[in-house]
Amino acid sequence: ETEIPTDHPRYQDLLTRHRIEAGVEKGITHLQGMHAEGRGSAFDYLLGEETIPSADEAERAAAAQLLLADHPVVSVNGNVAALVPGEVVDLASTVDAAIEINLFNRTPERMERIAAHLRDHGAEDVLGLDADARIPNLDHERSKVDADGIYEADVVVVPLEDGDRAEALSEMGKTEIVIDLNPLSRSPQVAAIPIVDNIVRAMPNVTEHGRALADADGATLREIVDSFDREAALAAAEDRIRSGDLAGE
């Protein structure tokens, strides 16, 4: 149980860290997920621990891209499952996307536990367990995907993804929406829509934009996607990090 006082200046950050620890204890999150979280937390501090305007634009473009997709999939790893299980389910139902577990350190036990955890949070159908297709040019365990899931997807949301797989997915022609706090990391660099924001803020905000755009026509959605400038978004995030406008405390 968490005992963090809500008025603590770093409340959200401590809560996030606690959720990753709990995820490790439950066998959902890999131990490496704690290192990933530490790196993410440092970048979030430098970003001011808020959704910067360029990230909000990316989140809106992501919502539009997902609504336009024929077969969108949200990819879930051990950190995503620990941090935003309910928010993943909300996004998937809002934009009519599938949910697929795709792990860097894949084990049958962790796959099952994450699937059960997502179902506890309202997921009806969880893909990834069949693993009846492979991402080309990636080593065996990491390449496992479902034929009717990521393999077939046109648009994939890949939060906290490792660079090799992000590159391999982009070589398959997928339109990738990457959520990653480090704008210099390879995954956002190869993404069609890089979202440089904490997943705990990004995931619900993409959903909110998805709800707001639910009745928009195809031309309006296409215009939002086409006017999104990925280079400008990456540069804006890097500028913010270099500006030294810190969160404080």
Number of residues that bind ligand PTJ (CB under 6 A): 24
- The footprint of ligand PTJ on residues 181-240 (CB under 6 A) is 181-182, 185, 198-199
- Least distance between ligand PTJ and beta carbon 148 (Å): 21
The alpha carbon of residue 122 and the mean position of all alpha carbons in its chain are separated, in whole angstroms, by 18
Site for ligand PTJ in 133-192 (CB under 6 A): 160, 162, 179-182, 185
Q: Which residues in the 12-71 window bind ligand PTJ by CB under 6 A?
A: 30, 32-33, 36-37, 39-40, 43
- Does 39 carry a binding-site annotation? yes
Q: Which is nearer to ligand PTJ, 37 or 57 (CB)?
A: 37
- Closest contact distance (angstroms) between CB of 39 and ligand PTJ is 4
Binding site residue list: 17, 39, 180-182, 186-187, 198-199
Binding site residue list for ATP: 17, 39, 180-182, 186-187, 198-199
